[in-house]
Amino acid sequence: MANASLGLLRVRQGKPDEARKSLERAVAASSQNYLIHYYYAYALSREGNRDMRTVMGFAPETATKMRTELKRAIQLRPDFPESYSLLAFVSLVTESELDETLELLKRALTSSPGRNDLVFMLAQLYMRKEDFKTARQLIDKLNGNNNDSEMRQRAQGLLTQLVSMEEQLARIRKEKEERPDARNTPNLRDSQDANGQGVLISEVDPSSILRESLRKPAAGETQAQGALVRIDCDAKGITFNVKINGNILRLRTESFRNVDLMSFTEDAGSEVTCGPRKPEDNVVVCYLPLPNARARIDGTAKSFEFVPKDFKLKP
């Protein structure tokens, strides 16, 4: 119990590496406390991944450990929804055991019908299985019966991704029907299903989905892509310095609260602070240009979206 208490404390302090060591000892003692198993899996999920929105993958042995601990936590306390949510997250990242996780999530929602985070996870699982009809119904539910503005925004972003995936797959199917040699297109590859039958697997371009998910410029705004090289802060406000085609674009705002910041890559790290960005960040920025060409400031910053190094705003 001492190891368990210390592990839970380290988790709450944001020290997952230290938490893991203590929780490992507690788990090894065959603990019957569901929270120990859940927090052990949680600590494993945070190792090297400070921002859970930008996790790109887990090592196979880590994913296996997490699944084992989460299933044990569910067995010990079936009505604890956080275990289901983290298990769904692992399934999405690893793209495995989707059907089993779907059934577990649906079971959890029968006892916790108001958990919008579980509904959001369930919609993502159905999208991964290309059941867009069911996924859309769940997203509509989040948009229609939700007072949480952040969740509505996340649901809208998920809907944008869903529409983009539907359009891409529709184009692929149409191309396959119209062109006998569509099997040789780069978006399709041969594979086999569980019964050994030949199937065509569609490969959706993630950059195309990301372009659709980016914030759309408002009236009068300009959208551009460049490298965020430095953030200067003073008593009057904040200046973002963005390098575009060799030139520095200086964008001003009164505070970070006035700018929409979104990350689509783990390269951005977990925080945005004043000073030089090392390494420089690949960003898509929206801003309001200033009419005075001689001004030291080029515009008012509206949004910064951190994107992967190989992403291009225009294909």
The answer on pLDDT for 182 being more than 50 is no
Averaging pLDDT over each range in 121-135, 205-219, 290-304, which range is the top one?
121-135
Pairing of strands 260-263, 299-306: parallel
Answer with the one of 84, 113, 142 that is the final residue of a domain: 113
| CATH number, domain with residue 40 | 1.25.40.10
Residue 138 lies in a domain: no
Residue 66: inside a domain: yes
* Residue bearing the bigger pLDDT, 243 or 203: 243
Distance CA 20, CA 41 (A): 9
Asked if the structure places residue 255 within a domain, the reply is yes
Q: Which of 61, 89, 113 finishes a domain?
A: 113
Pairing of strands 237-244, 260-263: unpaired
| Predicted confidence (pLDDT) at residue 45 exceeds the cutoff of 50 | yes
CA distance 148 to 129: 27
Domain with 79 in it:
2-113
Please tell me the predicted confidence (pLDDT) of residue 48. 59
CA-to-CA dists, residue 308 to 77, 262, 312, angstroms: 39, 12, 9
Question: Average pLDDT of the chain?
Answer: 82
Residue 186 lies in a domain: no
Phi and psi at 273, nearest 5°, equal -130, 170
The rounded radius of gyration (Å) of the Cα atoms in the chain is: 23
Q: What is d(CA 305, CA 49) in angstroms, rounded to the nearest whole number?
A: 19
Q: For residues 2 and 133, give the distance between their C-alpha atoms in angstroms, rounded to a whole number.
A: 49
* 155 domain-assigned: no
Query: According to the model, what pLDDT value does residue 282 have?
Result: 93
Q: Residue 211: inside a domain, yes or no?
A: no
What's 268's DSSP letter? G
The percentage of residues in the chain with a pLDDT greater than 90, rounded to a whole number, is 25
The CA-atom distances, in angstroms, between 202 and each of 130, 176, 188, 309 are 11, 11, 5, 24
- pLDDT computed for residue 315 by the predictor: 64
Average pLDDT value for residue range 49-63:
64
Structural contact between residues 187 and 167, judged by C-beta atoms closer than 8 angstroms: no
State the CATH number of the domain containing residue 278: 2.40.50.140
Residue 204 in this model has a pLDDT that exceeds 70: no
Q: Are strands 247-253 and 299-306 parallel, antiparallel or unpaired?
A: parallel
Please report the pLDDT score of residue 167 as a whole number.
Answer: 84
Domain termination site, one of 113, 132, 163:
113
Greatest mean pLDDT among 58-62, 73-77, 169-173 lies in 73-77
Total domain count, the chain: 2
Residue 246 in any domain: the answer is yes
Residue 14's pLDDT band (boundaries 50, 70, 90)? Answer: confident
Q: Is residue 209 part of a domain?
A: no
Q: For the purposes of burial, counting CB atoms within 10 Å of the CB of 278, is it exposed (0-12), middle (13-18) or buried (19 or more)?
A: exposed
